[in-house]
Every structure is written in structure tokens, then in C-alpha cells.
Chains A and B, each alone.
Chain A
Amino acid sequence: MSENENNFESLRQLLALKKHEVPPPGYFDRFPNRVVNQIQSPNQFTESQRFFLMVPWLFRLLLEMQARPALTGSIATGVFVVLAAGLIIAGRPDSQATGPSNLLAPVSADGSLALSQAMAPADLMTGVSNAADSSPEGLAISTNLSLQPVASMFGHPNSLVQPASFTGN
């Protein structure tokens, strides 16, 4: 084995150089106190540790993702596919009737809002604000929250909605 030791003498000298890698100055002065503090108050967690303790499954998922890049890639691909599919579906013509592109309601020449029957309540309010931009002085909107439109998934106007009234120019 001593012959082997001689063969590796250069390597040993090189490895011995690692002794020059040191922690930041003062590190060892503070270290014992940190250990003792942690022993005496084991629940003294950092902000991120506390968050991960509240959501242990997320912590496990992050560990898995760090350990398995392939899993991370799969999850990222899955998220991308879902987002892309969502964008494609939203852009289809049959979704335009109730889709986001319809949010800007037309305003007729006399300043009143032209509301289609199929328009969702959310569309209504967007239309009002749009009209308000064009003629801010002639617009009165109820600020009573109970009368504000409630978003509906089915496109039926809410009975509590009152149309905006215009005093006209």
C-alpha cells in the first residue's frame, strides 16, 4: 500500500489545498450559539421553513422536482399544454359570443349603451366604464354595491343590475 501512497502523493498534495477553503469570517464565533438556540427552541424556524411546514406536500414536490429533472420537465410541459389549449379554445369563433373579446360593448351614437341580450353582466359594466371614458360628465353610475352586477357563468343578466343612466349632453 505504501507504493500506492507514493503514486498518489501529488494528488494528496493537491487535495490538501482544500484546507484553504474557509467559511465567512466570524462564522465559527456565532456557530455554537446558533446550535444551542436551535436546541433550546426547536420551533424557531425561518420564514421559508415555516411555510413549507404548513404545506408539506409542496415541500416534498419541490424536493422531488430537484431530484428528478425529468419530472420537472414533464410538469412544465403539462402546464404549457394546458395553457396552450386554453388559449386555443378561447380564440375559437364560437366562444366569441361570450368570450373576452366581447367585453367592450358598443356605444350608440346618442351615448346610450347598446346592450345585446346575450351579453353577460360583466360586459355591461365594462361597457359603462368605456362609455364613461368617452363622455365622463354625462354618466351617472350607482355606487350601491348591492346593485352591482354579479358575474354569471351562464350569460343571464342579473335581475339586480340597473342600467346606467345618462343625463345626456
Chain B
Amino acid sequence: MTMAAPATNSPAAAEPDEMTLVSQARRGDMDAYSSLVRRYQERIYATMYHMTSNHEDANDLAQESFIKAYQALKSFKGDSSFYTWLYRIAVNKAINFIKQRRNRVQLSLNDLDINAEHDPDLVALVSHKTPHRAAALSELQEKLNAAILKLSEQHRAVVVLHDVQGLPHEEIAEIMGCNVGTIRSRLFYARQQLQGLLAEYLDKK
């Protein structure tokens, strides 16, 4: 799930560019907005999911983010790309949500996709742990999510956006409204914490 390119959902070649769709959506064209949703839904959902480790919460947050973006579309001045602006709305929503539910510990993990068992990194991690690979995968998934949930919302957002989604530091800084140095230092701290929490798996590599 590399995130650097603005469109992972491979919009059709004939589909208008982002700014055209935005201006059409601004005039109330719901088909245009639907195209924008289709274009970014996977990344917004993934960000919400990796920050909450819960499908239902991710679904609600992703929907609310797109709805809020539509309602605020008139205030979008085009200083940044629509994609960055949308991300900002979504990440702020997720951070507020996590703050409100800080004490709620709930893990409802999604199923791993069928490619997971063939991922060489994953195989290397779990094959010598136990012959029951499915159970080991599930355990790894739980540990990974539990470790991420232990990070503060700001650190979690940086790790998810950079190490999971693959966004560059500069873009994360723009999304989170702080400078690149802050992002780098948050990332360093978050990784250190994760390294401690996941030492059991990292030692095997």
C-alpha cells in the first residue's frame, strides 16, 4: 500500500483531473464527488483503520471525513492539493476520535487478505515460530495493532502515514500542520517505542 502517488484506485483514463472534479463537486455535481470518493477511499479508510485498528470505527470515520469534506468544499481554496486537504480532515477526525475514546480498548481486526500468507517478510517472521501459520499470522497482527494502539494519537498518525501509508515527511507535515523537524522527531520516538514493544518479532529478522 504505497501512498506517494495520488491515485491508487486507478481512475479511468477519461476521468477528469482532480481540480476539475473538485470544481464540479463544488457546484453540486454528486457524480464528480463520487469520483473523488472512489479515488481516495482506500487510502482514507486505511489511514482510519490503522489508527483505530477497528473496521467499524474506520468505516464511520472515513464516511464522516468525506461528508465533512463535501460540506467544507466551498472553503477549499486550493492552496494544497485536494488530497492533502482531505487527509488533513480525516487525520484530525481520527485524532479527535482517539482522544475521546482513549480509555476504550477494543480490537476488532479485519481478516488478512489471501496474499498475506505468501508475503516473504511475513513468512520469514512466522514460519519458524509455529507450524500453525494462520494462528501465528493472527497473533502477529494482534501484536502489531496492540503496539500501535499504545502510541499517542500524534505519534500514531505519523507512523501510520509514513511507515504504513508511505507518505513523505513534507506531506505529513502539511497534513498535520507542523514542520518537518517535528514530524521526524515524532517518527523517531514512535519507532523507538514500537521497537521496544515488538522486540520479540524484530529480533528474528
Contacts and interface: CB of A to CB of B under 8 A. Distances in A.
Interface residues on A, range: 20 to 34
Interface stretch (A4-12, A125-133, A157-165): A4-12
A15 B159 contact: yes
B34 to A, nearest CB: 5
B30 interface: yes
B100 A16 contact: no
Interface residues on B, range: 35 or more
A134 B118 CA distance: 76
Given A16-B163, A21-B112, A11 B195 contact: yes
Contacts of A82: none
A117 interface: no
Contact of A31 (B62, B102, B163): B62
A23 interface: yes
Interface of B: 1, 9, 30, 33-34, 37-38, 41-42, 45-46, 49-50, 55, 58-59, 62-63, 66-67, 70-71, 100-104, 109-113, 115-116, 119, 121-122, 125, 140-141, 144-145, 159, 163-164, 184, 188, 191, 194-195, 198, 201-202, 205
Interface of A: 1, 4, 8, 10-24, 27-28, 31-36, 38-40, 63, 66-69
